[in-house]
Amino acid sequence: MPLFVSIMTDKDTFFRVKRTLNVAGQIVDLSEPKVMGILNITPDSFYSGSRQQSENELLRNAEKMLSEGADFLDLGAYSTRPGATDITAEEESLRLIPAIKCIAKEFPAAIISVDTFRANIAKKAVENGAHIINDISGGTLDDKMFETMGKLNVPYILMHIKGNPQNMVHQNNYENMMQEILYHLSERIAQLKAFGVKDVILDPGFGFAKDIAQNYQLLKKLDYFSLLAYPILAGLSRKSMIWKSLNTSANEALNGTSVLNTFALQAGASILRVHDVKEAKECIQLFQLLNK
């Protein structure tokens, strides 16, 4: 495992997690945890409250999230819930690009992240006002993604997944899950560096090719990924690991989300990706008071 070893033996990165992002020339300080609000331009996302069905609804919810303190807005036009329907790049683009333009025009100071695994969509998104690419596949579903990211020169969220949204529920077989994910991410980081990508955010992929027990193991050992010396994003919001464990539903999973977000903060998460911005900001505020 030479790539893994090279990262693990670099003392400068071993003990120091990167705490800044360069977003269109603006330095974003991650020493204080940030919140990413989810806006889905899809008809079939797992949480119905996140679906935007019109331009007015999109702008209204974007304004609400920004007023509640969202540091980033994450737009997605391809549902990645387990078993989601595959859509073409053309359909994804038709949903996504007008939404980016709309938000960029109405809220020019907003930092827009785009949830896509397609390199050509990532390129179009940045050309039309997006600032961050959030790739659920970590470059495994489009072999042009890393090269494209090197040219775009924007922050990249590198997530762990096995398989794809259509078959990932059957891909949760690991000999040593934490070691396999850590090695996979370290290998992908080395490839991104080779293409000149400077700002990387790590997402261990809660719910993506992991069952409920594995998700809790992942959260319990989340600080393990600080070994890679990059900021960590925790995407736990209203996921089935919460509501299935409580025998409720995604609509009733806000309290459980706040609990798990607090554990993620304790484990060193720099960004909380959520449907409910106000509550996530409150988690961060109380966490910081506790750790003063």
- In 15-85, alpha helices (H): 55-67
Annotation says 101 is catalytic: no
Burial of 73 (0-12, 13-18, 19+ CB in 10 A): buried
Contact 160, 210 (CB under 8 A): no
Residue 109 confidence (pLDDT): 96
Task: List the beta bridge partners of residue 36.
Answer: 72, 273
* Coil, strand or helix at 69: coil
Annotated active-site residue in 221, 239, 244, 292: 239
**pLDDT at position 164:** 83
The closest of 113, 279, 110, 290 to 203, measured between CA atoms, is 113
Residues 6+ apart with CB under 8 A from 160: 138, 181, 184, 185, 203, 204, 205, 208, 209
In tens, the pLDDT along 218-229 reads: 999 999 999 999
Residues facing residue 38 across a β-bridge: 74
Would you call 118 a catalytic residue per the annotation? no
Active-site pick, 34, 273, 281, 292: 273
Hey, where are the domains in the chain? Answer: 19-290
**CA-to-CA distance for 19 and 269, rounded, in angstroms?**
11
Question: Where would I find the H helices in the chain?
Answer: 2-8, 11-14, 55-67, 89-106, 119-127, 145-152, 177-194, 212-220, 240-243, 254-266, 277-290
End-to-end CA distance of the chain: 39
72: Cα within 13 Å, side-chain hemisphere: 30
pLDDT less than 70: residues of the chain: 1-15, 44-53, 83-84
| CB-based contacts of 291, cutoff 8 Å, min separation 6 | none
What is the rounded CA–CA span in Å between residue 33 and residue 38? 16
Three-state helix/strand/coil letters over 147-174: HHHHHHCCCEEEECCCCCCCCHHHCCCC
Give me the pLDDT at residue 167, please: 83
Q: What SS3 class is residue 273?
A: strand
pLDDT at residue 4, as a whole number: 46
Q: What is the DSSP string of 183-231?
A: HHHHHHHHHHHHTT---EEEE--TTSS--HHHHHHHHHTGGGGGGG-S-
| Domain 19-290 grouped into CATH 3.40.50.20 | no
